[in-house]
Amino acid sequence: MKPTVALAISGFALIAVTYGLARFAWGLMLPDITRDIPFTPRVAGIIAACSFVAYCLASLGAAPLTQRIGPRYTACVASLCATLGLVLLAIATAPWLLAAGLFIAGLSAGLASPALAAAVSRVISPDKQPQINTLINAGTGAGIILSVPILMLLPGGWRAACVAFAVCALACLYPALRYLPGRGEDDSRAPAAGGVQLRKRGRLLTVAFISGVASAAWWSFGPDVLRQHVKVDAQAASMLWLVSGGAGIVGAFTGPLADRIGLNRVYRISQLCMGVPLLALAFGEGFSPWLIPAVALCGAGYITLSGVLLVYGAAASEVPAAGVAAVFLLLAAGQVAGAMLFGAAYAGLGATTGLTLFCALSLLMALLLPGRTTTKS
Query: What does the pLDDT look like over 106-140, one tens digit per residue?
Result: 999 999 999 999 999 888 888 888 889 889 988 98
Is the per-residue pLDDT at 188 higher than 70? no
Contact 132, 255 (CB under 8 A): yes
**Domain 1-180 falls under CATH 3.30.70.260:** no
Contact 244, 298 (CB under 8 A): yes
pTM, to two decimals: 0.82
In angstroms, what is the C-alpha Rg of the chain? 19
CA distance 274 to 259: 21
Is the per-residue pLDDT at 34 higher than 60? yes
pLDDT at residue number 187? 45
- Spatial neighbors of 201 by CB under 8 A, at least 6 apart, are 316, 317, 323, 326, 371
Convert the pLDDT of each residue in 298-343 to its tens digit. Answer: 989 999 998 899 888 888 777 777 888 889 889 988 988 888 888 8
Cβ count within 10 A of residue 200:
12
CA of residue 101 relative to chain centroid, distance: 18
Q: What is the identity of the amino acid at 57?
A: L
Q: What is the identity of the amino acid at 210?
A: I
Say yes or no: do domains 1-180 and 198-372 share a fold: yes
pLDDT band at 195 (very low <50, low <70, confident <90, very high): very low
CA distance 256 to 262: 9
* Residue 24 DSSP code: T
**Sequence ranges of the domains in the chain:** 1-180, 198-372
**Fold (topology level) of 198-372:** Growth Hormone; Chain: A; (1.20.1250)
pLDDT band at 373 (very low <50, low <70, confident <90, very high): low
What does each C-alpha distance from 375 to 132, 193, 195, 308, 315 come to in angstroms? Answer: 15, 11, 9, 12, 12
